[in-house]
Amino acid sequence: MAHNPLAPEWLSPPADANVLTDGLWPASAHRSDDGAITIGGVSAPDLAARFGTPLYVVDETDARTRAVELRRAFDTEFARIGTTVKVYYAAKAFLSTEVARWMVDAELNIDVCSGGELAVALAAGVAPGRIGFHGNNKSVAEIDQATRVGVGTIIIDSPIEIDRVAAAALRHGIVQNVRLRVNSGVHAHTHEFLATSHEDQKFGVVFEDAPALVTAIRAQPSLNFLGLHCHIGSQIFGVDGFAESASRLLSLHAELLTDGPVPELNLGGGFGIAYTSTDDPSPITDLAAGLADIVAAECARRSIPVPVIAIEPGRVIIGPAGVTLYEVGTIKPVRIGDNTRLYVSVDGGMSDNARPALYGAEFSVRLADRVTDADAALVRIAGKHCESGDIVVDADYLPGDVAPGDLVMVPATGAYCWSLASNYNYLGRPAVVAVFDGEARVIVRGETIDDLLARDTGIAETAHEATTRSDNEMKESTR
C-alpha cells in the first residue's frame, strides 16, 4: 500500500495491519487462532464481554518481570563498580495496592509524591521505610503524616522545606533521612538533551544554592542528609543526558563530601519505552551498564568513593505491561484534497488517556477482535469528548474494513494514562483489570454513574433511584 500523504513522515504503511509490532505489546500478547488479541491468556472479546469498555488491562507477569529484571540489571552493573542500588518504583506512573505489592515482591521501593499516593502505598502494606516522599509543594500536613508514619526518605524540594521537615521530625521524635533535589541544568527527552547553566522550572533548588542548603540541612539535628537527587526528564532513550547530569551532580557531591558524609546519589527516573514502531529505546541492561560506567568514571576522576545509587523509574516498568481496550462507535472518512483519513471514534478518549492532548504523545492501535485481509487505511482514533483535541492515536494504519462494534486495542498505556485519568464530560474512569495465566480480575473497579453523582450535594437520590423512577413514570404515561 502507498504511503498516505496525510500520515506523518515516520509512519510507513504496514505490510500487514494485523501484526502486533515487536516491542510495543505486553510480553504475553499474541493473536489466538480466531484472530483476537489475547493477553495473559484472556482474549480481548472475553475481556470486553466481562468488564465492558473502555478497559485498562495489565499483564501482571509482564509488569512483575520488568520490575525484577530492571532491579537485577542495576544490581549486577552497580555491583561491578563496587556499590549497591536502591530502585524506587515511581508510583505516579500507575499506583494501586496490587501494583504496589507487585513492586515490593520484586524488591523495589516506592516513590510517592502526595499524601494520597502515600495512603495507597501504606494501604498496600508497603513498609514505610521503603517509601520515598517527593513533591514541590508538600503540605505541612503531608510532611507531618510522612514523618509520623516513618517514611524512609523525604526529598526536599525547596529551602522552606528544610525547616518544615526538621520541625515535623522533631515533633515525632525521629531523625528523618532526606535528599535534596537539585536542578542539574540538564533536560532530556528521547534522543536529545539540553544542558543549560540555569534552569527555569519549579522542581528542585538552584544548583549553585545547594551547598548552603546542605549546610542548613546538616545543622538540623532532626535531619540526616543522604545525598542529592535529580530527575532530568521523561521518555529518555540513551544515556547521554544521564551522563551529563551525573557528571554535574558528582562534582557537587564531591564538594559536599569535604564537610560531611554523602552516602547516596539519586539519579531519578525517565527511561523511555516504545509507543510506535519507530521508537527504539535502549534495553534496560544497556542503560544500567551505561549508567554504572558513567558513575564509576566520574567518581574515579574526582577520587571519591562510589556512593550508593538510587533510581526512580516508573514508565519503563508498568507502561509496556498495560493496554487499553475500546469499542468502535462511529467511523467517518474525512477527505482532505485527494486523500482520506478515517476517523474512528471509540468509547473513551482524553479522559482515560490525556497524554496525546497534554504532550502531543503518539500511540499505536490494532484491531483486537479479529484479523482481516482488507487493505490498510490511515486512521485517527478519536475519543467521544466534546473537544477536537480529544485524540487517542493521532495516526496509524488499521484494516480498512474496521467497523462500528469492532474492538481496538492501544498498547503501552500502562503508565500515565489511568493515573492522569479524569471525569471530563462525566465519563466514569474505566476499570483496571490484571490478567494472569488465563484469569482476569479487577484491581481497580470502574466508576459508575452513581460514583459520578455521589459528590454532587444537590442530588437527593441516587442515579439508580432516578433511573428507576423515570422508567416507572414512562410506563405510567404510556398506559
Locate 352 and state its grid cell: 482515560
CB of 200 to ligand PLP, least distance (A): 17
* Residue 386 annotated in active site: yes
Q: Closer CB to ligand PLP, residue 172 or residue 189?
A: 189
CA torsion sign for 196, 197, 200, 203 is positive
Which of 249-276 are b and which e, b meaning 16 or more Cβ less than 10 Å from the residue's Cβ? bbebbbebeeeeebebbbbbbbbbbbbb
Q: Which helix (H) or strand (E) holds 45?
A: helix 44-51
Among 241, 314, 322, 383, the residue binding ligand PLP under the rule CB under 6 A is 314
Beta strands in 286-390 (DSSP E): 308-311, 322-336, 339-346, 366-367, 376-382
Residue 85 interacts with ligand PLP (CB under 6 A): yes or no: no
Q: Closer CB to ligand PLP, residue 267 or residue 407?
A: 267
Residue 270 interacts with ligand PLP (CB under 6 A): yes or no: yes
Span of 266-274, 293-301, 355-363, 436-444 interacting with ligand PLP by CB under 6 A: 266-274
Q: How far are the Cα atoms of 1, 147, 361, 374 from residue 19, in angstroms, in the given order?
A: 15, 51, 22, 13
**What is the number of other CB atoms lying within 10 angstroms of the CB of residue 109?**
21
Q: What is the DSSP letter of 326?
A: E
Span of 85-93, 295-303, 328-336, 435-443 interacting with ligand PLP by CB under 6 A: 85-93
Span of 2-10, 45-53, 286-294, 306-314 interacting with ligand PLP by CB under 6 A: 306-314
Residues in region 129-148 near ligand PLP by CB under 6 A? 134
Among 135, 238, 241, 313, the residue binding ligand PLP under the rule CB under 6 A is 313
CB 355 within 8 A of CB 319: no
**What is the number of other CB atoms lying within 10 angstroms of the CB of residue 151?**
25
* Amino acid identity for residue 60 in this structure: E
Among 133, 271, 275, 326, the residue binding ligand PLP under the rule CB under 6 A is 271
Span of 87-95, 96-104, 366-374, 401-409 interacting with ligand PLP by CB under 6 A: 87-95
Closest CA to 238 of 277, 196, 186, 290: 290
Q: How far are the Cα atoms of 16, 136, 245, 276 from residue 11, in angstroms, in the given order?
A: 14, 38, 33, 9
- Using only the alpha carbons of the chain, give its radius of gyration: 25
CB of 266 to ligand PLP, least distance (A): 9
CB 160 within 8 A of CB 137: no
Site string for ligand PLP, 398-427 (x = CB under 6 A): -----------------x------------
CA torsion sign for 288, 292, 295, 301 is negative
CB of 343 to ligand PLP, least distance (A): 31
Residue 393 interacts with ligand PLP (CB under 6 A): yes or no: no
CB 402 within 8 A of CB 328: yes
Q: How long a stretch of residues is the chain?
A: 479
Q: Closer CB to ligand PLP, residue 411 or residue 428?
A: 411
Span of 170-178, 185-193, 300-308, 309-317 interacting with ligand PLP by CB under 6 A: 309-317
Span of 90-98, 251-259, 339-347, 352-360 interacting with ligand PLP by CB under 6 A: 90-98
Among 157, 312, 369, 394, the residue binding ligand PLP under the rule CB under 6 A is 312
Residue 231 interacts with ligand PLP (CB under 6 A): yes or no: yes
CB of 234 to ligand PLP, least distance (A): 4
How many residues at the interface with ligand PLP, by CB under 6 A?
16
Among 45, 152, 238, 269, the residue binding ligand PLP under the rule CB under 6 A is 269
Q: Strands 376-382, 391-399: parallel, antiparallel or unpaired by DSSP?
A: antiparallel
Among 7, 93, 110, 367, the residue binding ligand PLP under the rule CB under 6 A is 93
CB 225 within 8 A of CB 218: yes
Sequence-separated (6 or more) residues with CB below 8 Å from residue 71: 85, 87, 106, 107, 108
Q: Closer CB to ligand PLP, residue 40 or residue 414?
A: 414
Residue 315 interacts with ligand PLP (CB under 6 A): yes or no: yes
Residue 90 interacts with ligand PLP (CB under 6 A): yes or no: yes
Among 40, 135, 268, 383, the residue binding ligand PLP under the rule CB under 6 A is 268
Which residues of this chain interact with ligand PLP, rule CB under 6 A?
A: 90, 92-93, 134, 231, 234, 268-271, 312-316, 415
Residues designated catalytic: 386
